[in-house]
Structure 1
Amino acid sequence: MSLFRKSLASFGIGAAKVDTILPQDALIPGQPLPVEIEVQGGATEQQIDNIHLTLCCRYLEEVASGRGESEQRTEKVPQVCRLAHWSLPETFVIGIDEQRQFTATLDLPFNTPVTIGDAQVWLDTSLDIARAIDPKDKDTLTVRPEPLMDGVFTALEHAGLRIRQVECEAAKGFALPFVQEFEFVPVSGPFHGRWRELEVVAYRDEESLQLWFEVDRRQKGLTGMLSSFLGRGELKRQLTISADLSPEEAGDEVLTFLDRTT
């Protein structure tokens, strides 16, 4: 019977299970990510060689739709990006129905997408078990803007702009294969009637927050920031904000820059 149970466990039947618990409801890029990992033994004793955690997100990439030689069309296809991967060197044997708990503190990468719009971010946890299907757990995350970006969003909101659309789209020239694009529309304030829309792309590192802006004054929409940005040189409106600034100072600097250059 024991051999039979081990055979079933190798196919994932009656095997150990893993569950990751996030003590925080909302996470901030660049800040610690505490996790608690619970391992529940199954119907047979199993050796766990490692615990793996992978931070993932979804982004869109334009690919040829292949609808014929006379028609060259593209469509946006969802892709998965591995933002970060961690391994916990925990080798242990989990007994029948035994429970084990582990804790770890990870660093959430700066450019983890903010989970508004269609942005999706999740944490995959798996147990490394030799010659067996690895038990897995998937936890959807809520990610809020880091302080500098939050200061920029707050300033834009106070100036009468509202977020209309947010997308993670494929891009070249960055550490990640995508950027997150925020589209704003002025509904009141100094830019109402002056702009049709504002598009913002942000990239954060330890030293600074880099921002690219595209303003549309026309009655017809833009072809999109990314179409002009990627592969065709940098946008004309680019601003670098020092990480030493406060969120309020960052917001004020963005408003001053936009008012002066647009």
Structure 2
Amino acid sequence: MSLFRKSLASLGIGSARVDTVLPQGVLIPGEPLAVDVQVHGGKVEQQIDNIHLFLCCRYEDEVETSRGDSQHRKEKITQICRLAEWSLPYSFVIGANEERHFEVSLSLPFNTPITIGDSHVWLETHLDMPLAFDAKDKDLLTVRPDPLLDGVFSALELAGLRIRQVECEAAKGFALPFVQEFEFVPVSGPYHGRWRELEVVVYRDESGLQMWFEIDRRQRGFSGMLAGLLGRGELERYCEIPASLHPQQAGERVLAFLDQAT
């Protein structure tokens, strides 16, 4: 075995690499994510201490900053959240040009963000190798609403509302450090001309959907983050959708709630 090749492998040249193959093109929160982790041996035999998989997303947070004076300002920063993770329970040796496969199943949390607008979800795979650069793989994922939330969104769309912006923002009191917010604008239908926009915070668990609504009739947008209002208990329009409801019934219940609220 060439010492020169070993040296190159330690620098990441001709080293083992990892690829993660996802057979599912579209993912649904609350459902399992099956992946095939493929480890390809390099030009020399190498020790693999571990394989780590991280399901990640990003969200916006507000922090107070000081610029050397007595005034404190709030600024938005981007945070990374690990939604789920998995590690191989043993180490192994990968031979030169050898290929090994590992079948892995991750549980997608209910509140994995829907990948619309600026919301992104990805899977990172890290190959942990001693005395060498760790090999990495990153795969962007497509996440769509579960049937219950899809029924709500379909009803809002049929009522003339269109999604304009989607963001994940920091919030306290939930299993994850953020909630996902959806901003709708009425382009036709019964709310056109009555509302400027509708913002919705969605939280999903096994019992169903929890939804908070804020309706803006003004000529300017909301100030601050909607999730911040939620944390201070200032969002009064709250609706629960039990998991037992049919998606169409869920949409009808939300529209009826919004009609009563306005």
TM-score interval, normalised by the smaller of the two chains:
over 0.9
Q: Which residue of 1 is the match for residue 104 of structure 2?
A: 104
Distance 1:140 1:117 in 2: 14
Scaled by the length of structure 1, the TM-score of the pair is 0.92
Q: Which residue of 1 is the match for residue 226 of structure 2?
A: 225
Distance 1:178 1:212 in 2: 14
Q: Which residue of 2 is the match for residue 21 of structure 1?
A: 21
Q: Which residue of 2 is the match for residue 119 of structure 1?
A: 119
| Alpha-carbon shift at residue 71 of structure 1 (Å) | 5.5
| Alpha-carbon shift at residue 173 of structure 1 (Å) | 1.6
SS at match of 1:148: helix
Show the 5 A alignment for 1:18-57: 18-57=18-57
Distance 1:11 1:155 in 2: 55
Q: Which residue of 2 is the match for residue 215 of structure 1?
A: 215
Distance 2:35 2:107 in 1: 11
* Percent of residue pairs identical: 68
Distance 1:77 1:51 in 2: 30
| Alpha-carbon shift at residue 90 of structure 1 (Å) | 4.8
Q: Provide the aligned C-alpha RMSD in A.
A: 1.8
SS at match of 1:73: strand
Unaligned ranges ≥5, structure 1? none
Q: Which residue of 2 is the match for residue 249 of structure 1?
A: 249
Greater shift in the superposed pair: 54-63 or 64-73: 64-73
Partner deviation per Cα, 1:198-253 (whole Å, 9 max, x = no partner): 100011111111111111122332225234222x2252111111111121111111
Scaled by the length of structure 2, the TM-score of the pair is 0.92
Give the letter aligned to residue 198 of structure 1: L
| Alpha-carbon shift at residue 258 of structure 1 (Å) | 0.8
| Alpha-carbon shift at residue 49 of structure 1 (Å) | 2.9
Show the 5 A alignment for 1:180-219: 180-219=180-219
Q: Which residue of 1 is the match for residue 63 of structure 2?
A: 63
Q: Which residue of 2 is the match for residue 93 of structure 1?
A: 93
Greater shift in the superposed pair: 146-155 or 45-54: 45-54
| Alpha-carbon shift at residue 170 of structure 1 (Å) | 1.4
Partner deviation per Cα, 1:103-145 (whole Å, 9 max, x = no partner): 2222111111111111111100112223433211111111111
| Alpha-carbon shift at residue 72 of structure 1 (Å) | 4.1
Distance 2:70 2:51 in 1: 51
| Alpha-carbon shift at residue 67 of structure 1 (Å) | 4.0
Distance 1:68 1:181 in 2: 34
SS at match of 2:145: coil
Aligned partners of 1:29 and 1:111 also within 8 Å: yes
| Alpha-carbon shift at residue 50 of structure 1 (Å) | 2.5
| Alpha-carbon shift at residue 151 of structure 1 (Å) | 0.8
Unaligned ranges ≥5, structure 2? none
| Alpha-carbon shift at residue 259 of structure 1 (Å) | 0.7
Aligned partners of 2:179 and 2:227 also within 8 Å: no
Q: Which residue of 2 is the match for residue 160 of structure 1?
A: 160
Aligned partners of 1:48 and 1:90 also within 8 Å: no
Distance 1:234 1:133 in 2: 49
SS at match of 1:13: coil
Greater shift in the superposed pair: 247-256 or 82-91: 82-91
For these two proteins, the number of residue pairs brought into alignment is 261
Distance 1:6 1:193 in 2: 69
Partner deviation per Cα, 1:60-107 (whole Å, 9 max, x = no partner): 112345445265433322111111111233532210011112222221
Distance 2:179 2:228 in 1: 13
Q: Which residue of 1 is the match for residue 2 of structure 2?
A: 2
Partner deviation per Cα, 1:19-70 (whole Å, 9 max, x = no partner): 0011122111111211111110012111223321100001111234544526
Give the letter aligned to residue 155 of structure 2: A
Greater shift in the superposed pair: 76-85 or 215-224: 215-224
Show the 5 A alignment for 1:74-89: 74-89=74-89
Greater shift in the superposed pair: 5-14 or 20-29: 5-14
